[in-house]
């Protein structure tokens, strides 16, 4: 149980990496139209939002559990990383994505969504770095 934060943060960061930097670019490269690729990418980003929120929620629950590793300092800054990454996912899904679908100032909202995704990726990577430094053999 003490390595759970490593696994959760690895799932979060790894799924962000896989979807955002491998799968979605491949969709746009190989599907017949950008609209078809965009629709599929939107579904994948929604699924990714739920993966991130579940990982974040489980990390927050773990931080309050009896299995917490005493070597891990669950300080306010670590909690802030988890909450900030979850907030990025929520904003991208419920603020940015509807505007992209509505094609409302598409270039601007796509840039904001890309920025939020990148920030979430950095935050999840920071969590993975922090947790794996406590358990280097995890």
Segment 49-100, tens digit of pLDDT: 999 999 999 999 888 876 666 656 667 788 999 999 999 999 999 999 999 9
pLDDT for residue 134: 76
pLDDT for residue 137: 60
Whether residue 138 has pLDDT greater than 60: no
Provide the greatest CA pair distance for the chain.
53
Q: In this predicted model, what pLDDT tens digit does every residue of 31-59 receive, in sequence order?
A: 999 999 999 999 999 999 999 999 999 99
Instruction: Tell me the H-state helices in 1-71.
Output: 4-18, 24-30, 34-63
């Amino acid at each position: 149980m003490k390595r759970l934060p490593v696994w959760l943060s690895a799932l979060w960061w790894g799924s962000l990496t896989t979807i955002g930097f491998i799968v979605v670019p491949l969709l746009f490269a190989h599907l017949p139209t950008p609209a078809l690729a965009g629709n599929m990418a939107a579904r994948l980003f929604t699924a990714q939002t739920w993966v991130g929120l579940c990982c974040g929620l489980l990390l927050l629950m773990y931080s309050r559990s009896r299995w917490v590793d005493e070597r891990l300092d669950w300080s306010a800054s670590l909690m802030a990383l988890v909450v900030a990454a979850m907030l990025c996912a929520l904003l991208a899904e419920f603020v940015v994505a509807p505007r992209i679908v509505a094609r409302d100032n598409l270039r601007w909202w796509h840039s904001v969504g890309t920025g939020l995704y990148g920030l979430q990726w950095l935050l999840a990577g920071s969590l993975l770095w922090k947790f794996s430094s406590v358990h280097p053999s995890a």
